[in-house]
C-alpha cells in the first residue's frame, strides 16, 4: 500500500504498569494505583518518514515504542500498521507483523547474547521465521543464512570475515552496527530506534546516525527515533514529538519545532541543549528544574505545570511568575500533607505553638523571596493563619480560591494542526477529548 496513508497510526495509546496491589506492592506498602507510563499518546508516521520521540528519561518513550510493536501489551488504544490493527492481531498475524517491524535497543552491550557468534545472532531472526522457505539455488538453509549474515555485516560497515567472532570482541559502535544488522535481517519496513546512539561516544554517534540515514534511503525504511537529547534528532528526523510524563505535548516538523517551539517544556529542553555556536554562547542556559514527577501519581491538568515557568494565573489576578510559583509550591506542600507543622514549631523554638507571628515568619522565609501585596498578600496571610491554627484544609482552600490555575484543572490537548502544542497558552478546544476529562478534573 502506498496510497499516502501513514504506515503507522497510533491513537490514544495507554500503557499502565501494574495495578498497584501486587504482593510486592502490598509488602512494601506502596500506594495503590498503576504507573501511567503512557497515557493517551497519538501520532502518525508516514511511509519513509523519521518521527522523533524525545523527552527526559522516564517520560514513557521506550514504553511507547515497545507497546506499539506489541513487545508489551497495551492497556488501551489503537495501533494500525499499514492499515491493520496491531493490538487485535492473533499469533500468526503478529508473526507476520514482526517481520515488518523491528527494534534497535539503546544498549549495544546487553542487547546481544554474549554466547552467540555474530553469524548466529544475525541468522537467528531468519531461523525463527523459518526463512528461507527454499533457497532455490542448492545452498542449504544454513549456508543461505550465513551468506545473508555476511551481506548484512558488509551493509552496516563491518567486515564479513568477523562473522565467527563474539560480541565482546567488538567496540560499542560496532555492536550497535550489529544490532542494526539484526534489525535489518528480515527486510523490515519499520524500525523503532530506541536511543540507538545514546550509549556511544560522540564521535561514533555521527557515524551510526549516518549509517541509519543511508539504510533508510536504500531500503525505504520508516523510523521511530527515540532520544532524550534534542540535538541528536535535529538532523535525522522529519518531524518530532515531544513527550512528557506519558503524554505528547508538542508535535511538529523538525525545523518548525526547533525554530518556533511552542510548549514551555520543549523550550526548556531546547534551552538545556549545550550551545556549540560562538554567537550563542552568551545565552542563558536554564536547565530544567527538578525531576519528572512520578507517573504513579501524575499532576492533575497539565502534567508539566509543577515545573512550568509559565503557569497561567486566574483571570484578573496580577502576580509575577516567581511569586505565583512560590504560592503554588506552598499549596502543593499543604495539599500533599507534606508540610510538617510540628517541625516548624520546633524550628521556631516554640513547640507549644503559641507564637504565631514567628511561625508565619518562618514559613514566609522558607517559601517567599519577596513580599506580596494587595489581595495576594491577604490570601497568603489568611492561609498562614490557618496553618498556624493547624487547619491545613482551610489553608489549602484559601489559596486555591484565589490562585487556582486552568493548568491544574484542565488537561490541555493537541489540536488538529501541523504543529500543535498541548498547552493552555494556545487555543484549546472547548471540550476535552473523550477520556481525558474525568482525569483532568480535580476533585
Ligand atoms: P523512557 O524510555 O522515556 O525513559 P520508560 O518508557 O522506560 O521511559 O518508562 C516510563 C515509566 O514507566 C517510568 O516511570 C518507568 O519507571 C516506568 N516503567 C518502565 N518499565 C516498567 C515496568 N516494567 N514496570 C513498572 N514500571 C515501569
Ligand atoms: Mg527509554
How many Å apart are CA 282 and CA 411, to the nearest integer?
36
> Is there a single domain that holds both residue 211 and residue 332?
no
What does the pLDDT read at residue 337?
A: 83
**Contact present, 301 and 407 (Cβ < 8 Å):** yes
What pLDDT sits at residue 26? 61
Is residue 103 located within the same domain as residue 177? yes
What is the domain extent for residue 236? 8-115+166-270
Q: Positive or negative, the Cα torsion across 64, 68, 73, 79?
A: positive
Q: How would residue 20 be classed by pLDDT, with cut points 50, 70 and 90?
A: low
* Tens-place pLDDT, residues 194-244: 999 998 998 899 999 999 999 999 999 999 999 998 888 998 999 999 999
Domain at 193, CATH number: 3.40.50.300
The whole-model pTM stands at 0.88
How remote is the CA of residue 59 from the centroid of ligand 2, in Å?
8
Set of cell numbers at residue 148: 545473508
Which tens digit of pLDDT belongs to each residue from 270-323? 987 654 443 444 444 445 777 889 999 899 999 999 999 999 999 989 999 999
Atom of ligand 1 nearest to the CA of 62: 2
Cα(33) to centroid of ligand 2, in Å?
Answer: 22
Is 262 touching ligand 1 by the criterion CB < 6 Å?
Answer: no
Asked whether residue 437 is assigned to any structural domain, the reply reads no
Q: Whose CA is nearest to atom 17 of ligand 1?
A: 37
Q: Is the CB of 227 under 6 A from ligand 1?
A: no
CA 370 to centroid of ligand 1, rounded, Å: 39
Q: Is the CB of 60 under 6 A from ligand 1?
A: yes
What percent of the chain is predicted at pLDDT more than 70?
89
The answer on pLDDT for 250 being more than 80 is yes
Q: Is 59 in the pocket of ligand 1 (CB under 6 A)?
A: yes
Q: Kindly provide the b/e burial profile for residues 215-236, where b requires at least 16 CB atoms within 10 angstroms of the residue's own CB.
A: bbeeeebbbbbbbbbbebbbeb
293, part of any domain: no
Å from CA of 113 to ligand 2 middle? 20
Any atom of ligand 1 within 6 Å of the Cβ of 295? yes
> Residue 108's pLDDT band (boundaries 50, 70, 90)?
confident
Interval 359-381: pLDDT, tens: 999 999 999 998 999 999 999 99
Same domain, 59 and 189: yes
Residues 256 and 344 reside in one and the same domain: no
Residue closest to 16 by CA, chosen among 32, 31, 1, 38 = 38
- In this prediction, residues 173-189 reach a mean pLDDT of 96
Clarify whether residues 35 and 111 are in a common domain: yes
CA of 294, closest atom in ligand 1 = 14
pLDDT-based confidence at 435, cuts 50/70/90?
A: very low
Provide the residues around ligand 2 (an ion) whose CB is within 5 A. 62
What are the distances in angstroms from CA 37 to CA 15, 43, 57, 169, 391? 6, 17, 11, 36, 35
Query: Mind listing the pLDDT tens digit for each residue in 32-88?
Result: 568 999 999 999 999 999 999 999 999 999 999 999 999 999 999 999 999 999 999
Taking only the tens place, the pLDDT of each residue in 189-205 is: 999 999 999 989 988 99
HSE toward the beta carbon, residue 126, CA cutoff 13 A: 25
CA pair distance 41, 359, nearest whole angstrom: 46
Please report the pLDDT score of residue 11 as a whole number. Answer: 97
Contact 424, 312 (CB under 8 A): yes
Tell me whether residue 237 is in a domain: yes
Q: Determine, yes or no, domain membership for 254.
A: yes
Amino acid at each position: 500500500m502506498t496510497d499516502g496513508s501513514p504506515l503507522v497510526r497510533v491513537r490514544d495509546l495507554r500503557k499502565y504498569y501494574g495495578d498497584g496491589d501486587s504482593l510486592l506492592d502490598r509488602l512494601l506498602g506502596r500506594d495503590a494505583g498503576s504507573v501511567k507510563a503512557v497515557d493517551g499518546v497519538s501520532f502518525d508516521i508516514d511511509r519513509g518518514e523519521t518521527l522523533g520521540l524525545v523527552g527526559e528519561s522516564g517520560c514513557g518513550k521506550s514504553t511507547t515504542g515497545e507497546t506499539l510493536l506489541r513487545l508489551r501489551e497495551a492497556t488501551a488504544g489503537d495501533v494500525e500498521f499499514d492499515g491493520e490493527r496491531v493490538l487485535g492481531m492473533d499469533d500468526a498475524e503478529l508473526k507476520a507483523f514482526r517481520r515488518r517491524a523491528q527494534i534497535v535497543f539503546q544498549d549495544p552491550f546487553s542487547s546481544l547474547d554474549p554466547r552467540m557468534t555474530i553469524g548466529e545472532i544475525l541468522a537467528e531472526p531468519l531461523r525463527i521465521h523459518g526463512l528461507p522457505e527454499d533457497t532455490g539455488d542448492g545452498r542449504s538453509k544454513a549456508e543461505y543464512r550465513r551468506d545473508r549474515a555476511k551481506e548484512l555485516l558488509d551493509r552496516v560497515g563491518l567486515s564479513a570475515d568477523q562473522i565467527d567472532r563474539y560480541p565482546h570482541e567488538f567496540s560499542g559502535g560496532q555492536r550497535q552496527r550489529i544490532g542494526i544488522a539484526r534489525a535489518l535481517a528480515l527486510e523490515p519496513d519499520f524500525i523503532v530506534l530506541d536511543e540507538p546512539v545514546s550509549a556511544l561516544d560522540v564521535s561514533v554517534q555521527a557515524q551510526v546516525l549516518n549509517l541509519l540515514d543511508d539504510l533508510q534511503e536504500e531500503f525505504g525504511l520508516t523510523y521511530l527515533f527515540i532520544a532524550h537529547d534534542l540535538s541528536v534528532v535535529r538532523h535525522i528526523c522529519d518531524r518530532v514529538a515531544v513527550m512528557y510524563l506519558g503524554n505528547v505535548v508538542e508535535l511538529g516538523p523538525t525545523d518548525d519545532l526547533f525554530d518556533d517551539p511552542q510548549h514551555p517544556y520543549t523550550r526548556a529542553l531546547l534551552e538545556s541543549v549545550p550551545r556549540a555556536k560562538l554567537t550563542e554562547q552568551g545565552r542563558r542556559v536554564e536547565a530544567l528544574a527538578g525531576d519528572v514527577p512520578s507517573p504513579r501519581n501524575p499532576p492533575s491538568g497539565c502534567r508539566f505545570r509543577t515545573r512550568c515557568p509559565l503557569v497561567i494565573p486566574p483571570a484578573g489576578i496580577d502576580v509575577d511568575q516567581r511569586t505565583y510559583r512560590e504560592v503554588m509550591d506552598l499549596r502543593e506542600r499543604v495539599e500533599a500533607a507534606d508540610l510538617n507543622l510540628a517541625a516548624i514549631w520546633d524550628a521556631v523554638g516554640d513547640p507549644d505553638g503559641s507564637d504565631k507571628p514567628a511561625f508565619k515568619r518562618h514559613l514566609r522565609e522558607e517559601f517567599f523571596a519577596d513580599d506580596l501585596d494587595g489581595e495576594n498578600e491577604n490570601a497568603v496571610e489568611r492561609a498562614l493563619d490557618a496553618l498556624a491554627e493547624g487547619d491545613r484544609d482551610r489553608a489549602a482552600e484559601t489559596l486555591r480560591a484565589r490562585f487556582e490555575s486552568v493548568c491544574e484543572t484542565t488537561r490541555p490537548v493537541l489540536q488538529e494542526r501541523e504543529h500543535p502544542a498541548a498547552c493552555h497558552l494556545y487555543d484549546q478546544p472547548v471540550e476535552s477529548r473523550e477520556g481525558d476529562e474525568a482525569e483532568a478534573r480535580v476533585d
